């Protein structure tokens, strides 16, 4: 399926949760939601940077709730999403975008390092989704999106934690998309459909790849489209956000 952003739910005044919002793609998506007039709860371990993002979001018509949290920590993740539910209420959309990619071989990586990356990517996806699941059911629906990657469906050397973490969120997405159909909850995975200029890319792209990278803000329209979805629309798909504001979606169910 290919398309341009389609309208469904009105976003003004609605709640968005965006993880990894301090920089990179999460920052761009947070600003796009603020521009739609959403109340954006932003989670990141870089609490120092989140205050500036929150001010920018307020200056363009949104409201912002910056939450400094280490999403590798289960109790801290739970406390952060509880705080969102208490202060903002039920999200229309949850974007789990925070991730960490440190390339290490099987000989190098320790169990603690493996768990750290897996917890940010997969454990936090579970904790945040579980926390919003019943509230979304009670609200009549919602939209959940996990950031995937080529690493969500292909193998890459020395991604001993990131690779299975991204496969894991695609698996969780497929399972919850099926369960969410009865409750009008859309669950999808999203990938950057273009090379993006972010701190993660800066650490991992080759100089050749950096020649064509684009501002992640160009990919934001697909995330606005995803925020408007429920289970009668796009669900169970991997959506590639393109730099021209369009998107491609593959049905994974």
Ligand X SMILES: NC(=O)c1ccc[n+]([C@@H]2O[C@H](COP(=O)([O-])OP(=O)(O)OC[C@H]3O[C@@H](n4cnc5c(N)ncnc54)[C@H](O)[C@@H]3O)[C@@H](O)[C@H]2O)c1
Q: Return residues touching ligand X (CB under 6 A).
A: 20, 22-26, 44-46, 69-72, 97-100, 120, 147, 149, 191-192, 195-196, 198-201
C-beta of residue 70 within 8 angstroms of C-beta of residue 97? no
CB nearer ligand X, residue 25 or residue 128: 25
CA-CA distance, 145 to 126, in Å (whole number)? 12
CB nearer ligand X, residue 129 or residue 184: 129
CB of 227 to ligand X, least distance (A): 16
CB of 137 to ligand X, least distance (A): 26
CB of 13 to ligand X, least distance (A): 26
Catalytic residues: 162
CB atoms within 10 A of CB 143: 30
CB of 100 to ligand X, least distance (A): 5
CB nearer ligand X, residue 37 or residue 78: 78
* Nearest residue (beta carbon) to ligand X: 24
CB nearer ligand X, residue 153 or residue 183: 153
């Amino acid at each position: 399926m290919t398309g341009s952003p389609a309208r469904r739910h009105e976003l003004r005044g609605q709640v968005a949760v965006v993880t990894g919002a301090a920089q990179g793609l999460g920052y761009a998506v947070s600003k796009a939601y603020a521009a739609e007039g959403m109340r954006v709860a932003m989670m990141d371990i870089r609490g120092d940077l989140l205050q500036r993002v929150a001010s920018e979001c307020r200056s363009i018509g949104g409201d912002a709730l910056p939450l400094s949290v280490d999403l590798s920590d289960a109790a801290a993740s739970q406390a952060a999403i509880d705080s969102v539910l208490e202060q903002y209420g039920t999200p229309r959309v949850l974007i789990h975008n925070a991730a960490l990619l440190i390339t290490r071989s099987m000989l190098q990586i320790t169990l603690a390092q493996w768990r750290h990356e897996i917890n940010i990517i997969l454990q936090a996806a579970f904790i945040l989704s579980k926390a919003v699941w019943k509230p979304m059911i009670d609200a009549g629906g919602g939209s959940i999106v996990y950031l995937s990657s080529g690493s969500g469906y292909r193998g890459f050397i020395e991604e001993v934690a990131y690779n299975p973490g991204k496969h894991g969120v695609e698996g969780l997405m497929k399972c919850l998309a099926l369960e969410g159909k009865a409750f009008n909850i859309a669950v999808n995975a999203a990938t950057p459909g273009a090379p993006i200029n972010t701190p993660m890319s800066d650490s991992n792209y080759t100089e050749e790849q950096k020649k064509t990278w684009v501002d992640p803000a160009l990919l934001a329209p697909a995330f606005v489209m995803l925020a408007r979805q429920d289970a009668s629309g796009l669900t169970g798909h991997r959506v590639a956000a393109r730099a021209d504001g369009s998107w491609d979606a593959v049905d994974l169910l």
